[in-house]
Every structure is written in structure tokens, then in C-alpha cells.
Structure 1
Amino acid sequence: MEQRDKLFTEEQYIKQLTQYTARIEKLNCMIEQLEKDGDEISPDFYGRLFDCRVNTIVTMYSMGKDLESIKSDFILTIKVFEKCWTPYGYYVHMLWLLSIAIMLDYEDDIVQKLCDMIENNGVKDHIYDILLNYRFSSHNEISKCVFDDIPYHAILDVTNLVQQDKILAVQRLKKYLAKEWYRGHSDCAWYNDHKYGIIHDGYWSFESGALVKVLGLDDSILKGQPYYPYDMVHWADNQK
């Protein structure tokens, strides 16, 4: 098992995954008890469980787990996400999950759950729309803006350039990955967390991979680029 994100050691990732698993089991037990007692469960409580689940997925990818092994965790994560989703606090997480589902060709009913959350909340976002239109022709809306401008405004440049020249589009995406993506998340809790040696899930621009697949770009120049999930983009190629 070769690590994809080498900013943590294998031992650190294994320890972290064990901690996430224990926390998920504890939270699930607490939820079951609350349900049994007939008590109301707040979205914040489900939010804590969701954080553990989505962080588990990213950690598994970073430590080099087979992509097929992620699917069961992904489905369970979506079930929890439906109970705590708000477009304001979970924009990046929705982008991660939607992108992973696109790259790994998950079934329409799985992606539809994410689509329903977005549409039912009336979220207008260019990246969401590009990805959803790839899977569902019925979505057919393309917003001209992104919900979170920094760093995602750069994606508008990429999708605009596709209409003119796909080589220019992928070059713009490379600049986004090299100079804008990580720095643009400086306000996120996970920014620079690898420096402290306590917890580090991994740094991945999953939306970049999904856009390459959806827009039909040649990502040869992106192979080995930090933050780019190259093998996830090409997962379907290896299934043939």
C-alpha cells in the first residue's frame, strides 16, 4: 500500500483512522440511545458524526487504500450528510463528495442524494452545476458564479477556456493547483495541520480531478502535481 499523501507516516495514518473509527462507533451508540429514548437529535450532533466519516474517507485515500474500499464508507457518509447539510458550513465537503462520486462512477441514486440536497436548498454554484449536468441532463442549470469565491473563482476561468482551447484550460487548472488552491483554504481548520503531527487527513483538490473527467481534459501535465488525485481520475480506465 503506497501512500498518496506523504506528509504523515503510515503509523500516524493508521492511528488516526483507528481514532476516527472509535469516535464513529461512540457517536452511533449515542444516537441509537437518543432514538430509543425518543429524544430529538440535533443536526449539530449529526455534524460531528459526518465530520468523522468524511475525514475517514480522505484519510483512507491519503494512506493509499484501494479506491473500491472507500465506497461503503462513502454511502454511510451520505446518509449522515443528509441530516446535517447546510450550504453555508459544508460547501467544501459537498464539493469533495460530489467530485469523488463523479470520479469513481458511483451509481445515479447515490449522486442523486447529493443533487437533491443542493437543489432543495436552492444553491447556485457553477462547479456543482457542471458536475451535476454531467450526470443528470434534467439538472440543466449552469450558474455563472461560485458559492465560495476564494479559491474557486479560478474554476470559472477553466470552464471558460474549455470553449476556446482545452490545452489552455488544463494549464489554468495547473496554475490553480500550484498557486491558488491550498493558499485559498488558509481559513480552514485543516490548513497546515501536517506541521503539528497530531492530525492530518490529507490535502486534495478533488474538484480538479472531477472537472478533468467531466470536461474531457488531458491531465498528463497534472500527474504528480500536489493536491491532484490522479489515480482517482483514472479509476475507470483501470476497470476496463
Structure 2
Amino acid sequence: MQTFEERRRDPFFTENAYQEHRKGTESMFTDPHFAESREQIKEAAKDLTSARRCSFHRVMCFIEDAWMRYSAGEPLESLRDHVKYAFDDLQRHNEAFPDHTFKLWEPDAYYYTMMLTSWTVLFNLPECLNILVEHISRDPEDGEDSFIHAVFSALGIQDFPGKEAGLLHEDPYGILFASLDGSREEQQNAMRKYLKCWYRSESIKGCYWRERHSFNPAVHLGYWAFETGMLTVLNGLDDSGYRERGFYPRDLVDYCREQGWHKDMAERLTVVRGK
């Protein structure tokens, strides 16, 4: 049997963090302030603002739970169920608090949009994409982005704004966006460049979870550029030149391909293009 250190996918992830995360998530099922039912949350909270905060905290805990489980090396077959549950909980939140949305100008909101979109592809959950899209603000003041537009368009969301917009977070996402109209070789080269600079980029520096491994390892979630896995699958790239680089979710890409989901997507989707 593998030890935790042998099984984990993120080298900074600790068994203590794994156990603490799981205990915290499991407590959501018994605390009335964080119940699955949003009506129950509203009854337990002192006001709607508090209820909304508790509701979204619950969503975030289940997203972080799936993120953490990937870092810990859990089997991907069971992890898919946890991802699906996180999306279901986001839908419950959307229905209860439709005015609460991701604003793409925020680095964390943009990262979460990329991560969750990638999960709908790599775990073959296309029905969950609309749940995410409903949680993203379409107010131009909250940010429009041509990369997000291009990805959503390829995945069948044709009416999402941003086609004529620039990039909200040029560093690092501009590397991938600029490569989308290139050859497969050019895109593969861009992946290597992107993975090399991803963690040090300006947008990732603005995310709340960055550097946790050094100052608070007990709440470290893992460091993953899930969008590289998504684009590798969607555009049929050979990842042999970058699959061993840090931050690349190679196990998830391999799992997606082993299930044959990449072939299903190739039949119903276009490759991601920047223009």
C-alpha cells in the first residue's frame, strides 16, 4: 500500500492538511448555518447578507474539497462524484442568491472560472458548465475577457460576452491565448512557457491560496494550472514535452483520455481559437 507521501500529487500537500480539510467539509452536513438547504441557511442566519455568505462559504468548501482531494492523490473515479456535488451546490446557491456572481476582474474569480471550466471538460461534465456560467457576471463593469469568451464558445456557450474585449489578466493567460491560432507545435511550446512562469505571474500572485504551503501548510490546497489540461485535451495536443512540469494535471488528462471522453468532445466541440 502506498504511503500518503507516495500517493499525493502535490509535493507540498500534507496528510495533516488532508485530514483537517475533510473534517471541516464533513461538518457542513450537520451545521444548520451551512446546510444543503438554502432555506434552512436563511432561517439559521441573522440576515440575508449573512445567509448569502454562509451559502457561498459552503460552495467554496466543496470546491476546495475536490481540489484538495486531487492534490492528495485520491482516485479520480470517486473524485468525479465530489466535483459533481460541488457544482450541484453552486446551483443551489445560484438559485437562492442569483445576484451574487464571480467578477472576472478579480484574480481569484478568474482562476476559479478557469479551474471549474476545466473540470467540466476533464471530468466530462458538460451539463455543469451552465451552472458556472450563471455564476459569472455579465455586467461589463465586472470585466469581459476574450480568452474566457473563446473557451466558452468552443464549449457551446455562444452568447457569452467578451469577443472584442482584451485580456483582463495578460500575465499569465496571454501566453495561452496568443497561441490558440497557432499550430499544435506552437501551442505545445506555449504550454511549456506558461507552466514555467504560471506560479510567478501577476494574476496568480493575487490569489488567496498562493504561498500557503510556506506560511500555513495546514490549509494548502495544491497548485494546479488546470486550464493547461483542458486545452491539451480540447486541442488534441501531445503533452510529452511538458507533462512532467509542475502544476500540470497530467493524471487528470490521462484519466480523461483513458475514459475516451476526449473522443466524445472532439465530435461535438470545436478546437479553442482566439479569434
What TM-score bracket applies, with the shorter chain setting the length?
0.7 to 0.9
Alignment of 1:1-240 (within 5 A): 2-23=7-28, 25-26=30-31, 27-29=33-35, 33-36=40-43, 40-42=47-49, 43-78=52-87, 79-80=89-90, 82=94, 83=97, 84-88=100-104, 89=106, 90-106=109-125, 108-118=126-136, 120-121=138-139, 124-136=144-156, 138-139=158-159, 142-143=163-164, 145-160=166-181, 162=182, 165-179=183-197, 181-184=198-201, 185-196=204-215, 197-240=217-260
How far is the alpha carbon of 1:61 from its aligned partner?
Answer: 0.5
Over 3 Å counting, the alpha-carbon distance change for 1:37 and 1:192 in structure 2 is closer
**Distance in 2 (alpha carbons) for counterparts of 1:176 and 1:167:** 14
8 Å contact from structure 2 (residues 28, 35) kept in 1? no
**Distance in 2 (alpha carbons) for counterparts of 1:182 and 1:208:** 13
RMSD over aligned CA atoms reads 2.8
How far is the alpha carbon of 1:111 from its aligned partner?
Answer: 1.4
What do the CA deviations read for 1:70-94 (whole angstroms, capped 9, x no partner)? 3333233233363442224422112
8 Å contact from structure 2 (residues 176, 187) kept in 1? no
Per the alignment, in what secondary structure is the counterpart of residue 65 of structure 1?
A: coil
Moved more, 220-229 or 80-89: 80-89
**Distance in 2 (alpha carbons) for counterparts of 1:95 and 1:237:** 20
8 Å contact from structure 2 (residues 102, 137) kept in 1? no
Over 3 Å counting, the alpha-carbon distance change for 1:147 and 1:13 in structure 2 is same
Over 3 Å counting, the alpha-carbon distance change for 1:40 and 1:73 in structure 2 is farther
**Distance in 2 (alpha carbons) for counterparts of 1:99 and 1:18:** 26
Count of equivalent residues:
235
8 Å contact from structure 1 (residues 145, 153) kept in 2? no
What do the CA deviations read for 1:13-40 (whole angstroms, capped 9, x no partner)? 2232222332565342395544347975
What amino acid maps onto 2:193 in structure 1? K
Over 3 Å counting, the alpha-carbon distance change for 1:182 and 1:25 in structure 2 is farther
**Distance in 2 (alpha carbons) for counterparts of 1:13 and 1:37:** 29
Over 3 Å counting, the alpha-carbon distance change for 1:115 and 1:16 in structure 2 is closer
How far is the alpha carbon of 1:68 from its aligned partner?
Answer: 2.6
What amino acid maps onto 1:178 in structure 2? K
Over 3 Å counting, the alpha-carbon distance change for 1:38 and 1:144 in structure 2 is closer
Q: Which runs of 5+ in 2 are unaligned?
A: 261-275
Over 3 Å counting, the alpha-carbon distance change for 1:168 and 1:199 in structure 2 is same
8 Å contact from structure 1 (residues 5, 63) kept in 2? yes
Over 3 Å counting, the alpha-carbon distance change for 1:144 and 1:168 in structure 2 is farther
8 Å contact from structure 1 (residues 129, 143) kept in 2? no
TM-score of the two chains, using structure 2 as the length reference: 0.74
Over 3 Å counting, the alpha-carbon distance change for 1:114 and 1:8 in structure 2 is closer
Moved more, 30-39 or 203-212: 30-39
